[in-house]
Every structure is written in C-alpha cells, then in structure tokens.
Amino acid sequence: MKKIIICIVAYDAESTLHKVLDRIPPAVRQKVAEVVVFDDESKDRTFHVAKDYQASHPDFQNFYLYRNSHNLGYGGNQKRGYRYCIEKGYDIVVLLHGDGQYAPEALPELLKPLEEGRADAVFGSRMMVRGAALKGGMPFYKYVGNKILTFFENRLLGMDLTEFHSGYRLYSVDALKQVPFERNTNDFHFDTEIIVQFHAKKLKIVEIPIPTYYGGEICHVNGIKYAIDVAIAVLQYKLHELGIIHYPKYAVTPMKYTFKHDRHSSHGQVAALIPSSGQRILDVGSGPSELSRLLKKEGNRIVGVDRSFSDDGTSALEQKIERDLEKDFDLPFGREFDIILFLDVLEHLTNPAALLGKARKYLKPGGRVIFSVPNVAHWSVRFSLLLGHFRYAERGILDKTHLHFYTLRTFRQLLKENNYKIIREGATPLPLLDSFPIIGSPFLRWIHWIDVVLTYLWKTLFGYQFIFVAEDTFDEDYVKGRPS
C-alpha cells in the first residue's frame, strides 16, 4: 500500500476552500495519510476558514493546516509542500488547488496509474475531450492561449501532451527526488519548468481527462506575463541543451553527444571530407560513434580508440581499443591509416600536443588528419562575457569537462607547433536543426540559413565549431617536396 498525501495550495480562497475539502471522495479521504492545506499568507480569511473547518470536522483527523509566514508564490508554495512530502516519506503527492477549479471527485481515476506503478506523474487534462473545456466555462481567450502555448511547448520539446497548463497534478515522490524542483521559479510557470525537468529525466507522464469548472473565483495569473515566462523557460532549456547557456535547474542528466544529421554540422562536414570508400580510418575518442555507422555504409573500415566502450552490439567499428588517451596511446599498428579523426577530443585533454605527436606514427604517407574543436570566441560566449558571465555547461562550447579552449588562431598555432600543415579549414553554424524537433519550421530554417551564411562570412564570430584537415609535415613524401 502506497503512502499518499493531498497537498492543497491556497491563496485568497475563503469562498471555495471548504467546498474543495467537502468534495474529496470518502474512499480517498480514508486512503490518504494526510490532507494538508498550505495557505500562502492569504489576504482574506482563507486560514480562518480552514481552521473553522478543522474544528467543525473532528472526524477528519488526518487534516492539517499550515500558514506561510510570508507569501512564497505559487511555485514557492508547491516547493514547501513537496519538501514536506519528501521529509515525511510519502510515496504519492496529490496537488489540489483551493480555488475549486479542479474536481476532487476525479481523484480515484487519477491515482490509479501511480498506485499501479505505471507513471511517474499524472496530469488531469481539460483538453483531452474535444470541446469540454469551453463547455465547462473556460473563457475562449484562455482556451486559445492554452492551445497555442501547448503547441509551442510540444514542438520545441518533442512531447505530445494535450495540456501543459493544468494545475491538477499527482507526482511520485521518488520522481520528485530525481529533479531539482527547488531551483525552479516561485512564480506560476513553475508548472512548466517541472514538466521540462521530467521530460529531460525521461520520467513518464500520463494524462487523464478531467471536467472543467470555472466559477466566480479570482484568477491571480497575469496571462501575458505567464505566456512570456513559459516561452522563456522552454527556450532556456533548448539553450541549455545546445550548451550555449548553462541552467542548473535543467541539469538533470549527464548530457550525451548525439549525431548531427544536418550537412552543415560537424558530422555532416566530416563525412563529406572522407574522400572515397575503402579508407582505413582511426577514430580517436570515438565512443558510441554513429558517424562510424555512416562511414562504414560507404565502404570504409574504422578502428575506434577510447577509454571504454559500451557493448550494445550496434557498433560499426571493425576493432575497439580501450586506451587512456592521456597515458597510453601505443597501438598495435604501423603507418596504415588513411585518415585519423580527432572529433571533439583535444579540448578534453591536459596535454593535447603529446597525443598529436604520438598519432603521426599511425598515419600513412599522404594521409590526412581531421579535427573538430569548439570555438570559444563564438558570439554567444562573447555576449555572455560582456554581461559578466562565464557559465560552464553540460556540453557545447563551455562543456565543464573542457580543459582547453580554442579560437581559430590558437588552434592553428597548436597544429603548427606540432608539425601539422593545415590544408583546409572551415566552421559549423549552431546545430539548430538537430537540436530543435521542429525540423519542418520555415522560420527555423530561415534562421539556420542566415547562420550558415554568417558562419561562412565570419567564422571567427559565428562559427560554433572549427573543422580542420591537416597533414603531417614529417611525411617523407612531403619532405621530398610533394605538392599539396
């Protein structure tokens, strides 16, 4: 039997709170361990109404009441409630509103997915049944705004919720422990930020239809401000995903490097630089490389070198060699590789020059080395510095595991000092199309193409990553004067 608590957040709800308490089904009231009202320093008689209800219902022995010493805000009041649930060791928390907009009668159905272990969160949706929200009295402008915001959030996050803006929610307390909800806003868009956190953590959200009720209650939400705050919260998450700006509230899982399909991306450009099939390639720091799968399909043979490999049976690598790139780069090969790849590797090493020196003994005469490194002089980093920020991120240009930061000039110098001759260099735009799941959006494509053009014209400012192709100046053919 799971231990359940109902948390009722209340602010200026003197006319509705007692009705909400009355409407909790008797079977649910008997099942839950506590029903707790958190009064957020209401300006009316909400607290006294709750006290009177408590005194007049002595049989309701698991009913408790707390009044915040100062107004915490809608999000802040939820945080207090969730902290209370975690400290008390509850399994399921029900979030009810004291204004009566959400029907307590729906609780038996809403509790089932959590009680049966089929969900990490359950949301009561007013939009699942077509037309039900308007029939229930939802103002038309709120209905339209809800639909537009939900569409926007679904498209950017790659989700498929019918409603992002219902306040009727039930959470697994164990799931709440897995996300940093304490870092979220104290304002009304707390509800959006916690959805983003659940999505990022890959926690399961189940929606169940609920009736809509709008009465004479006072709405304390500024609709325009709320819509702007919601949009900003989602865009912040996308910027966090890109590694442009780090937001601790969204750092819920270690970020993984993913394959970029766009032809202007680092993976797209590197694949285009592999001259033909039949190449023998050494991929240094390869990891679970999807690029290797693409190169193998084109008839190339790839050997991967990395600290460790997952054994998922899907690798396209001909051979996996586990090495600590900082300590041990002695490989059982001679000068037999046509191409060596250093993709997003050198910036993670304490001594990249040492690895560059060791790598040359595995490169065929006339072979090429391809590098990709992030551009620390990208406009986003410059702008952050202008504002006085230098925030490390989970990935991207300011990945917290980066030990070296490169500009175009400093990476050129690194290659020159280690006797590599640059024969080609380029840059990638921001990986917008691979980071935002709205590939078909004409607006996004226009932004992408503008960034592509700007990157071509001014790669030191707009280049997200630099791509270099180089050859070893110690190559015997090169020393003899072979033309480049």
Residue 151 has pLDDT above 70, yes or no: yes
If one counts every other C-beta atom within 10 angstroms of the C-beta of residue 321, the result is 17
The stretch 381-403 carries a mean pLDDT of: 86
CB 276 within 8 A of CB 257: no
> What pLDDT is stored for residue 52 in this prediction?
93
Buried b (16+ CB within 10 A) or exposed e, 35-44: bbbbbbebee
Looking up tokens 């600590």, which residue turns up?
A: 324
Contact 231, 152 (CB under 8 A): yes
pLDDT at 147 over 90: yes
Q: How many angstroms separate the CA atoms of 214 and 143, rounded?
A: 12
Domains of the chain, residue spans: 4-250, 266-479
For 404, other C-beta atoms within 10 Å of its C-beta total: 16
User: Phi-psi category of 101—alpha, beta or left, where left has phi over 0 and alpha has psi -120 to 50?
Assistant: alpha
Place domain 4-250 in its CATH homologous superfamily: Spore Coat Polysaccharide Biosynthesis Protein SpsA; Chain A (3.90.550.10)
Which of 220-229, 335-344, 395-404, 429-438 is the most confident on average? 335-344
Q: How far apart are CA 383 and CA 390, in angstroms?
A: 10
pLDDT on residue 334: 87
Q: How far apart are CA 430 and CA 451, in angstroms?
A: 7
**pLDDT band at residue 473 using 50, 70 and 90 as cut-offs:** confident
- Which of these, 205, 180, 185, lies nearest to 195 by C-alpha position? 205
Largest Cα–Cα distance in the chain?
100
Single-letter amino acid code for the residue at 235: L
For range 328-352, the mean pLDDT: 91
Please state which CATH class domain 266-479 belongs to.
Answer: alpha beta
pLDDT tens, position by position, 82-112: 999 999 999 999 999 999 889 999 999 999 9
User: Tens digit of pLDDT for each residue in 406-461?
Assistant: 999 999 999 999 999 999 999 999 887 666 655 456 767 788 889 899 999 999 99
Residue type present at position 76: G
- State the DSSP string of 436-471: SS-TT-HHHHHHHHHHHHHHHH-HHHH-SEEEEEEE
Q: What residues have CB less than 8 Å from 22, skipping those under 6 apart?
A: none
Quote the distance between the C-alpha of residue 276 and its chain's center.
Answer: 37
Q: For residues 292 and 412, which has the higher predicted lDDT (pLDDT)?
A: 412
Read off the amino acid at residue 128.
M
- Residue 22 CA from chain centroid, whole number: 40
One-letter amino acid of 305: V
In DSSP terms, which residues pair with 205 in a beta bridge? 121
Contacts of 16 (CB under 8 A, 6+ apart): 98, 99, 100, 215, 217
User: CA 388, CA 392: separation in Å to the nearest integer?
Assistant: 13
Q: Could you give the 3-state DSSP secondary structure of residue 8?
A: strand
With pLDDT > 90 as the criterion, what percentage of the chain qualifies? 58
Sheet strands side by side (includes 465-472): 319-322, 301-306, 280-284, 337-343, 363-374, 465-472, 420-428
DSSP label of 166: -
The neighbouring-strand residues paired with 382 are none
Residue 473: CB partners within 8 Å, gap ≥ 6? 419, 420, 421, 479
